[in-house]
Amino acid sequence: MKPSLFGYRAPTTLDDAIKILASDADAAVLAGGQSLLPAMNFRAANPTLLVDIQHVDGLRGVTVEDHRIAVRAMTRHRELELHPEVQRTHPLIAEAMAHVAHVPIRNRGTVVGSLCHADPSAEMPLILVLLGGTVIAQGPLGAREIAAEDFFQSFLTTTRRPDEIIVEARFPLLPPGAGWAFDEVTRRHGDYALVGLGCTLSVDGQGRAKNLRLAACGIADRPVRLKAAEAILTGTTLQSGDLNAAAAASTAAVTQSDEANASASYRRRALTALIHRIVAKAAARTRPRMVQ
């Protein structure tokens, strides 16, 4: 399985990269290649030009700022996962990243690349949506910031324009005392999630859930916030009745039809189980601790 022929450029400045990308409608950005190369080897993707951005100035690095973590385009998954500041300030990210494929893939693949690939079962798009993060797109007309919920459009499709390069992803930090949890069910270790779920919340002065966010991957053509469930659970003490209601209200969000690896009814059942477990786990991590 060898790729079909393509042109190849390896620019060293972002301006050059954007110009080259704009020059060919069937060009593709090559960062880590862990999603693109398999598709090319299968000849499912046949870009006529590859713009390799690994040598572009200014695209490396992780910056931990006051309210967010900024991840530049060529940051490999593993760099973010093992970053001491990120592990300390945002353990949700490390917890989610341990599920992303396997270490050798995470050594080469990039976080931004995973976001741009937009597989609806992938973990990092889910985390971006859960946290309400953004990406920075840079194109011939300049830069723009795109909110996560506006970025992931449908199956393998984002709102990045063909002549734009996503240069950065921004993951908001959680407020002090927030609880968080992520888990997924897969067929094998490291596979894409059949259903993945993340939850963040804080607790108010009366011990009730506030700012509760719940997002899932694998159940639709993109990661989705479970807003009905959020509305049901916010302001409650997360009793099992509340969780049952939240789960019942979420099954409609499972729009992914039957697949060989998972039927829709199975996804609904798994989502229900995960809602119970993940919300409880997040609640157990709040400070002060939620009394349930």
Establish if 255 lies at the interface with other proteins (CB under 8 A).
no
Give the interface segment with other proteins, choosing from 19-27, 103-111, 159-167, 197-205 (CB under 8 A): 103-111
Q: Output the smallest distance, CB 243 to other proteins, in A.
A: 12
Q: Output the smallest distance, CB 17 to other proteins, in A.
A: 15
**Of 120-179, which residues contact other proteins (CB under 8 A)?**
none
Interface with other proteins (CB under 8 A), residue total: 49
Establish if 5 lies at the interface with other proteins (CB under 8 A).
yes
Helices (H), the chain: 14-22, 36-41, 77-82, 84-89, 91-97, 103-108, 111-117, 123-131, 148-151, 227-233, 240-250, 264-284
Using CA atoms, how far apart are residues 175 and 189, in angstroms rounded to an integer? Answer: 31
The position carrying tokens 């040598």 is: 55
Using CA atoms, how far apart are residues 183 and 285, in angstroms rounded to an integer? Answer: 15
Q: Output the smallest distance, CB 6 to other proteins, in A.
A: 6
Cβ distance 283 to 254 under 8 Å? no
The angle formed by the CA atoms of residues 157, 67 and 210, to the nearest 5 degrees, is: 85
Beta-bridged to residue 185, according to DSSP, are: 195
Establish if 265 lies at the interface with other proteins (CB under 8 A).
yes
**Of 64-83, which residues contact other proteins (CB under 8 A)?**
78, 82
Residue ranges in contact with other proteins by CB under 8 A? 1-8, 10, 30, 33-34, 37-38, 41-43, 50, 52, 54, 78, 82, 101-105, 107-108, 185, 187-191, 194, 260-263, 265-266, 269-270, 272-274, 276-277
